[in-house]
Amino acid sequence: MKKHTRWLAGASFFVAAATAVGSAGAEEVKGATKYGDMRTVTQRMLNAAAGDGNNFLHTNHNYKQTRFYPNAQINTSNVHRLRPAWIFQTEVKETMETTPIVVNGVMYVTTAFNHVYALDARTGEELWHYKHKLGPITVYCCGPNNRGVAAYGDMVYMGTLDAKLVALDAKTGKLVWETEIADPELGYSETMAPTAVDGKILIGTNGGEYGIRGFVKAFDAKTGKLLWTFYTIPENSVGVWATHDATGRDMKRNIAAEKEALAKMGDPYKTLGGGVWQNPAVDLERRRVYFVVGNPSPDLDGSLRPGDNLYTDSLVAVDLDTGKYICHFQYIAHDVWDLDAVSPPILVDVKDKDGKLVPGVIHGGKTGHIYVHKRDDCSLIRFSEAMVPQENMWTLPTKEGARMLPGANGGVEWSPMAVDERLGLAYAMNLHQPMTYHVESTPYPGGKLWLGGAFKVIPTEEQWGILSAVDYHSGKIRWEVKTPQPLIGGVLATAGGLVFFGEGNGRFNALDAATGAQLWSFQAGAGVNAPPASYTVDGKQYIVVAAGGNTQLDYKRGNAIIAFSLVD
């Protein structure tokens, strides 16, 4: 199909593994109150989230991470009547990347610097407020972000900038337990929302810019005890000396020099990075989790890390119950551009090369491609047309700075995609932000920013954003909408045939999911750079999004959670 391009107009447990705190958190809770009809979040509810037209139980709506909300009350024919129902202002006016979680009329949202609020989802009234007491050492890249809580049982869970996992009583906001995930002084931090499944809380780590050794860990939901760890960097990280990327382009590696370096310095796995920034998708039937792994450390300097740097820049599947490796697919071996894998993978059925529908996994890359995989073995079926300009790929970074597109923010950054399986479309937010890549070799600095050079935005070149609807059965772009600024935040699709997304300039938009036609827009007054969600209470559907701007792209800061509903 021909592609069209449009421009937008304008309870307490005392255990060894975790620090049990009992009532210690009470003083941090303001206005704690019980909410009469709040329900426990059961595993059955989480399993059935994809078809739940009332709640929004997962960061990406369901375990497959489709971000497709199944209520059609708000739809293409009436979305023009969408108006703010309420606005809640947090006390933190700083970057917002949170996805509101809604459980039977109670909404949980997070802010920068790890505050959590419970709100009445009908009115926006505050029920409780928890403020995590951050330790003196936090080391994080790209802003003091938090992307939300996981809800499970009678608790909500949050990862913190000082690399802790906290469990709060969902009714009161009181701290039940907290445990250290990793040492923040070594560059570990948490911004992702955890994933709750079968009594486990799964969480990855930031730190690919600080020479960490990445992981995904599973903790016991009741006690905080560590159940398993999967290191995203195996002790043998060398791989197969791949010379071409997933799309078949030569990455200009000097394999002979790398082999010589490997012989001298050994495997660099201990400081090789490989953060996991976003939620894993969960395949309950196969008992697997699928996630993507970020860039190697140091970002731009490959001389200190010979080999393919497994499993950086890869899709990885591990066993849900044990954390054991199952399969992976590496997009870029020995990445020296930070064009890594961040946006959460989505489980959908896809057509294979013979046109047969098979269980698949799709991922939107910072390269600007959507990659389509077989779920069985992680192998690549196809990659989409490039959604953003690509130039001079793969030019190696230089001391003076080499220009190559995309710039290091992508393509598709951490922003989650959405999928409408009825249309076979994936909706991806993209950036076009030209940069030069500068390399300078420096030794591991012990938990400090370790880029191996610098990324520089080219100030004289135009920047913009593009929302692309991609047919994942063919890899073709069905339609695309350009925006005046690079896009970051995330997408929501609904059964009403709508796609919602925000912009750095404060606009929050609804498009026709089939055509990209703009049907509605609202000016939020601060950057809308968080993934939207939807929920239904007392028979009324709402769309909700955070408008708090963004540190990474320096979009105007705010502190609002805005819920929208239809007016008569």
Partner 1 sequence: MLMKRGRWFLPLCVAVLGGIGSSIGAQTERSPAPAAIPGLDQLSGHLAELVPMCLACHGENGVPNHAEAPIIDGQHEGYLYIQLRDYKNGSRKHEVMNEIVKDLSRQDIRELAAFFAKRPWPRLQQTAEEGDDVVAERLASAGMCKECHLSGYMGDSTVPRLAGQLTSYLVVTMRAFKTKERANNAAMSSLLDTFTDEEIDALARYLGAL
Catalytic sites, residue numbers? 338
Positive or negative: CA dihedral 103, 98, 383, 2 = positive
Length of the chain, in residues: 568
Pairing outcome for strands 68-69 and 491-494: parallel
Residue number with CB closer to partner 1 (130 or 455): 455
Residue of 440, 474, 521, 525 that binds partner 1 (CB under 8 A): 440
* Site membership for partner 1, residue 554 (CB under 8 A): yes
* Site membership for partner 1, residue 134 (CB under 8 A): yes
Residue of 252, 287, 448, 540 that binds partner 1 (CB under 8 A): 448
* Site membership for partner 1, residue 266 (CB under 8 A): no
Least distance (Å) between residue 171 CB and partner 1: 31
How many Å apart are CA 466 and CA 499, to the nearest integer?
A: 14
Residue of 172, 191, 551, 559 that binds partner 1 (CB under 8 A): 551
Residue of 262, 457, 514, 517 that binds partner 1 (CB under 8 A): 457
Residue of 424, 453, 497, 558 that binds partner 1 (CB under 8 A): 453
Least distance (Å) between residue 397 CB and partner 1: 11
> Is the preceding omega at residue 311 within 30 degrees of 0, hence cis?
yes
The amino acid occupying position 483 is: T
Residue number with CB closer to partner 1 (104 or 398): 398
Distances (CA, A) of 326 to 195, 236, 284, 506: 19, 16, 15, 42
Burial label, 185 (beta-carbon count in 10 A; 0-12, 13-18, 19+)? middle
Residue number with CB closer to partner 1 (286 or 456): 456
Least distance (Å) between residue 557 CB and partner 1: 6
* Site membership for partner 1, residue 450 (CB under 8 A): yes
Give the x/- contact pattern for partner 1 in 458-497, rule: CB under 8 A: xx--------------------------------------
Cβ contact 490:193 at 8 Å: no
Q: Which of residues 137-166 bind partner 1 (CB under 8 A)?
A: 137-139, 141-144, 161
Least distance (Å) between residue 71 CB and partner 1: 36
Residue number with CB closer to partner 1 (144 or 194): 144
* Site membership for partner 1, residue 456 (CB under 8 A): yes
* Site membership for partner 1, residue 131 (CB under 8 A): no
Nearest to 128 by CA among 139, 118, 114, 115: 118
Least distance (Å) between residue 408 CB and partner 1: 10
Least distance (Å) between residue 459 CB and partner 1: 5
Cβ contact 91:30 at 8 Å: no
Q: Answer left, alpha or beta for residue 96, where phi above 0 means left and psi between -120 and 50 means alpha.
A: beta
How many Å apart are CA 294 and CA 275, to the nearest integer?
A: 5
H or E element that contains 257: helix 255-265
At residue 456, the 3 state secondary structure works out as strand
At residue 315, the 3 state secondary structure works out as strand
Backbone angles phi, psi at 46, to 5 degrees: -65, -40
Give the x/- contact pattern for partner 1 in 493-532, rule: CB under 8 A: ----------------------------------------
Give the x/- contact pattern for partner 1 in 351-380, rule: CB under 8 A: ------------------------------
If binding means CB under 8 A, how many residues of this protein chain bind partner 1?
33
Strand intervals (E) in 275-389: 281-283, 288-293, 314-319, 325-330, 346-351, 357-364, 370-374, 380-383
* Site membership for partner 1, residue 442 (CB under 8 A): yes
Residue of 179, 430, 552, 565 that binds partner 1 (CB under 8 A): 552
* Site membership for partner 1, residue 262 (CB under 8 A): no
Residue number with CB closer to partner 1 (113 or 535): 113
Q: Considering only 66-74, 120-128, 328-336, 548-556, which stretch makes contact with partner 1 by CB under 8 A? A: 548-556
How many Å apart are CA 157 and CA 170, to the nearest integer?
A: 9
H or E element that contains 166: strand 164-169
* Site membership for partner 1, residue 39 (CB under 8 A): no
How many Å apart are CA 548 and CA 533, to the nearest integer?
A: 15
Residue of 242, 449, 514, 517 that binds partner 1 (CB under 8 A): 449
Give the x/- contact pattern for partner 1 in 395-424, rule: CB under 8 A: ------x-----------------------
How many Å apart are CA 222 and CA 20, to the nearest integer?
A: 11
Write the CB contacts of 363 (distance below 8 Å, at least 6 apart in sequence): 292, 315, 341, 343, 345, 346, 370, 371, 373
Q: Please give the residue ranges that form the binding site for partner 1 (CB under 8 A).
A: 94, 113, 134, 136-139, 141-144, 161, 401, 438, 440, 442, 445-446, 448-451, 453-459, 551-552, 554, 557
